[in-house]
Amino acid sequence: MSTYRRQQMRIILADIVSAELVWLLFLLFRWIVYEGKVMSVEGVLIPAFDFHRPLVLYPLGCLAVYYLSGYYLHPFKRSRSKDFLTTFVSAMIISLGAFFIIIIDDHVTEYQRYLVSLGVLFLLQFIISHACRWAVRRFSRLYNEREDVIVIDPPTGDEGELYRQIRDAYPTGKPIYIRPRVYDLLTGAAQIRNLDDEALVCITELNMSDWEVCVKRAFDIVVAVICLVALSPLYAFLAMLVWRSSKGPVFYTQERTGLHGQPFQIYKFRTMIESAEEEGLPQLSSKDDSRVTGRTGHWMRKYRLDELPQIWNVLKGDMSFVGPRPERPYFIRLIEQQAPYYCLLYKIRPGLTSWGPIRVGYTDTIEKMIRRLNYDIAYMENMSLLLDLKIMLSTLSVLFNGKGQ
């Protein structure tokens, strides 16, 4: 486990301990102040349903709020003021959630007690969690100051070499910085990153805020689980069609390049004959490809039904619902001959759909793939949850109109 991962685990453990402590102290407060009985469901101390369940659910709820706030992505790179504000807002959301889900079920006739309970829970949550986080950050500061990053000096007059260095650095998973050129300084791309006060350009930093990144991933997980369950009858029906359409396996796997330039296996329903690429190098498919398995294959490709198994890739974390379409290494090498900046896409997860496929459509030539690449880079530089929503709605329109091929 890397040093940075150990730091994250310390913060998460501190949040679990602090949340448990907060809930126990909150129960103790209500017992003392309102004279409830610890194991009774009739007093104001214990929620009406039971006593033990909140001891588990409350810390889990705290972790969910903290994750969605984006705190766990870079817990040791935040300023003190931002750390204070994030913890403050999270404590407010947690206390309000606990109030409306748990405390409001108490048998209490005086509303003043509700307000006092809410205020005490908020103060306990904020003070204790912030204190625990401060202690962990202080203990881990030595490691944070020794973080290892990659800094690249851009070669003079050789853009191709620069992108080759970036591509080779991505698989390490470390932050990648470039010493700025005049253009970077003039456009404000260069920023101070606390590396001996040197102005650097960060290649790996996303243009989404931390909380948006976490909400995007949480959305992927929740929607992927719902789709896999709800669409299971459709999966079975399509699997039967593929099995009857031609000889060969129902599912088709293929190596693609994803986040940080790492390879992964993408899943599809097979819509081509089993020996589609046995005779030579990988080939791009086209609308009237003779390798497609008849009417069934063309119909599935037209409505992108062959892509449905990739929802499993989304759940695994290989892909996202919205992101650049992942390519095979062979075609990436061909693209890089004309567009060496392809490696810039490696800083985000590939996706089922993006702006590029919507604008360009089916990519059966390298030229179209480069056009799609340019749209995908534009998406990457303007990433937001709202843009993702617009892309998903546009994709649904393409699918329902049968424009997938």
CA quadruple 252, 253, 259, 260: dihedral sign = negative
Q: What is the pLDDT of residues 367-398, one digit of tens each?
A: 999 999 999 999 998 999 999 999 999 888 87
Q: What gap in Å lies between CA 401 and CA 9, rounded to an integer?
A: 47
Model confidence at 70, pLDDT cuts 50, 70, 90, reads: very high
CA neighbor of 282 nearest in space, from 318, 327, 246, 250 = 327
Angle, vertex CA 119, rays to CA 29 and CA 87, nearest 5: 105
Tell me what pLDDT residue 49 has. 44
Q: What gap in Å lies between CA 222 and CA 381, rounded to an integer?
A: 25
Helix axes 210-230, 232-245, angle to 10 degrees: 70
Pairing of the two strands 251-257 and 176-178:
unpaired
> Span 40-62, mean pLDDT?
65
SS3 256: strand
Model confidence at 280, pLDDT cuts 50, 70, 90, reads: low
Model confidence at 232, pLDDT cuts 50, 70, 90, reads: very high
Q: Which is more confidently placed, 398 or 188? A: 398
Residue 233 has pLDDT above 80, yes or no: yes
Tell me what pLDDT residue 81 has. 87
CA neighbor of 85 nearest in space, from 207, 210, 214 = 210
Spatial contact of 57 and 88, defined as CB atoms under 8 Å apart: no
Mean pLDDT (the chain, rounded): 83
* Alpha helix (H) residue ranges in 246-279: none
CA neighbor of 121 nearest in space, from 15, 24, 12, 13 = 24
In the chain, count H helices and then E strands: 14, 8
Model confidence at 155, pLDDT cuts 50, 70, 90, reads: confident
What is the separation of C-alpha 185 from the centre of its chain, rounded to a whole number of angstroms?
30
Q: What gap in Å lies between CA 280 and CA 388, rounded to an integer?
A: 38
Tell me what pLDDT residue 397 has. 82
Pairing of the two strands 199-202 and 176-178:
antiparallel
Spatial contact of 60 and 97, defined as CB atoms under 8 Å apart: no
DSSP state of 382: T
Token reading at 393: 């709605």
**Mean pLDDT highest for which of 107-116, 155-164, 243-252?**
243-252
CA dihedral 282, 319, 348, 6 (to 10 degrees): -120
Token reading at 181: 């050129």
Tell me what pLDDT residue 107 has. 55
DSSP notation for 307-371? GTTHHHHHHHTS-EEESPPP--HHHHHHHHHH-GGGGGGGGS--EEE-HHHHHH-S--SHHHHHH
Q: What is the pLDDT of residues 252-265, one digit of tens each?
A: 899 999 999 999 99
Residue 11 has pLDDT above 60, yes or no: yes
> Span 130-148, mean pLDDT?
73
Q: What gap in Å lies between CA 268 and CA 253, rounded to an integer?
A: 6
Token reading at 262: 């790492």
Tell me what pLDDT residue 392 has. 92
Q: Which residue has the tokens 């009417």?
A: 295
Spatial contact of 204 and 178, defined as CB atoms under 8 Å apart: no
> Span 283-307, mean pLDDT?
80
SS3 101: helix
CA dihedral 289, 266, 350, 340 (to 10 degrees): -70
**What is the model's pTM?**
0.84
Q: What gap in Å lies between CA 25 and CA 28, rounded to an integer?
A: 5
Tell me what pLDDT residue 352 has. 93
Tell me what pLDDT residue 38 has. 44
SS3 288: coil
Spatial contact of 348 and 323, defined as CB atoms under 8 Å apart: yes
Q: What gap in Å lies between CA 50 and CA 52, rounded to an integer?
A: 6
CA neighbor of 14 nearest in space, from 100, 98, 109, 135 = 135
Q: Which is more confidently placed, 363 or 106? A: 363
Spatial contact of 356 and 327, defined as CB atoms under 8 Å apart: no
